[in-house]
């Protein structure tokens, strides 16, 4: 059985961090025990979207293992003495295997460190966080998950696209079109998605967006249906392109966009001109530097 964390604060470790927590207030926050791992969601980019639990964990971690999607402005919340270990994929370099990342988390925890595994968005949404958690449970390492704001909800909201609206949709589907090899997944049922999902939010769909749009149209969705591409949501480089399924399938509108990118299909996109007025007031790149 994996030990549970207690809820008493650890004020002794709080003061070296960029964010200083009032000790009275930290009674509501969990203890980050030495020898444990926190699996933390960093949100979509804007450090203002970190949870209090994430900032609290960052203020105490001895080592932070982070992915490519994690914004530097978020890493600035780590305590000055913390070791920052990049374990993501960098262009041209092989990415570390999942088993290696798991082994590094386990080794660091067994060495008595407070280990913070920081993942973009929410750790359990298309991020292999659950696999890392399974590895920790199997190794008997105590862990806690600190959920984050997932890009497919918070990133779209920042773009003026609510994932639901009572007049538009009573359900929403989050999907990734990839399989493990990076190709289009054969496990997606396009007819069912097309018939049953008024709003579709596609993660990791940048390279595959033409084929995704084609599949949806083949399955009956009209080429005129509203769609949007939202790039680098909640950062100073956020871009929102409103388009249609037909234009997506023709490969139009994606020029000049840099990943990470979400693709959203459905009537909620039509709200963006009203709700996205003025764009997203993301903090500047210089924040905290």
Q: Which residues are tagged catalytic?
A: 67, 89, 204
Please say which residue, 161 or 230, places its beta carbon nearer to ligand SAH.
Answer: 230
Contact call for residues 237 and 231 (beta carbons, < 8 A): yes
Interface residues toward ligand SAH, by CB under 6 A: 44-45, 69, 119-122, 125-127, 150-151, 155, 203-204, 230, 232-234, 260-262
Please say which residue, 71 or 102, places its beta carbon nearer to ligand SAH.
Answer: 71
Q: Residue 96 Cβ, how far from ligand SAH at the closest point, in Å? A: 16
Q: What DSSP string describes 152-213? A: IIIIHHHTT--S--TTT-S--EEEE-B-TTSSB-TT--HHHHHHH-SSEEEES-TTTHHHHH
Q: How many CB atoms lie within 10 A of CB 110?
A: 13
Q: Residue 136 Cβ, how far from ligand SAH at the closest point, in Å? A: 17
b/e string for 45-62 if b means 16 or more Cβ within 10 A? bbbebbbebbbbbbbbbb
Please say which residue, 21 or 38, places its beta carbon nearer to ligand SAH.
Answer: 38
Rounded Cα distance between 80 and 84, Å, is: 10
The three-class DSSP label of residue 35 is: coil
Place of tokens 């994430």: 54
Rounded Cα distance between 22 and 202, Å, is: 40
Please say which residue, 259 or 288, places its beta carbon nearer to ligand SAH.
Answer: 259
Please say which residue, 34 or 184, places its beta carbon nearer to ligand SAH.
Answer: 184
Cis before 260 (ω within 30): yes
What sign results for the dihedral spanned by CA atoms 240, 69, 250, 177?
negative
Residue 186: Cβ-neighbour burial (10 angstroms; 0-12, 13-18, 19+): exposed
Extended beta strands in 22-169, E state: 37-41, 63-66, 83-86, 115-119, 143-146
Please say which residue, 26 or 71, places its beta carbon nearer to ligand SAH.
Answer: 71
Q: Residue 51 Cβ, how far from ligand SAH at the closest point, in Å? A: 13
Q: Residue 31 Cβ, how far from ligand SAH at the closest point, in Å? A: 25
Residue showing the smallest CB distance to ligand SAH in the complex? 121
Q: Tokens for 225?
A: 């249906």
């Amino acid at each position: 059985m994996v030990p549970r964390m207690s809820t008493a604060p650890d004020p002794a470790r709080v003061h070296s961090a960029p964010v200083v927590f009032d000790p009275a207030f930290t009674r509501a926050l969990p203890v980050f025990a030495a020898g444990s791992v926190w699996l933390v969601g960093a949100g979509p980019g804007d450090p203002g979207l970190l949870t209090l639990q994430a900032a609290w964990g960052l203020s105490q971690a001895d080592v932070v293992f982070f992915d490519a999607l994690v914004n530097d402005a978020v890493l600035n919340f780590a305590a000055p003495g913390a070791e920052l270990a990049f374990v993501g994929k960098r262009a041209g370099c092989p990415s570390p295997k999942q088993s290696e990342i798991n082994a590094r988390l386990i080794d660091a925890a067994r060495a008595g460190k407070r280990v913070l595994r920081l993942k973009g968005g929410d750790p359990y949404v298309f991020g292999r966080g659950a696999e890392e958690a399974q590895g920790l449970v199997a190794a008997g390492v105590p862990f806690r998950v600190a959920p984050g704001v997932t890009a497919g909800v918070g990133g779209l909201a920042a773009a003026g696209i609510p994932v639901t609206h009572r007049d538009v949709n009573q359900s929403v589907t989050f999907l990734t079109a990839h399989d493990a090899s990076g190709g289009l997944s054969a496990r997606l049922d396009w007819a069912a998605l097309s018939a049953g999902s008024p709003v579709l939010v596609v993660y990791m769909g940048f390279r595959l967006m033409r084929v995704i749009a084609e599949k949806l149209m083949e399955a009956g969705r009209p080429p005129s249906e509203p769609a949007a591409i939202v790039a680098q949501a909640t950062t100073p480089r956020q871009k929102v392109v409103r388009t249609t399924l037909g234009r997506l399938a023709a490969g139009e509108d994606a020029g000049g966009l840099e990943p990470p990118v979400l693709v959203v299909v459905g009537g909620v996109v039509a709200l963006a001109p009203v709700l996205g007025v003025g764009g997203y007031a993301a903090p500047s790149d210089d924040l905290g530097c």
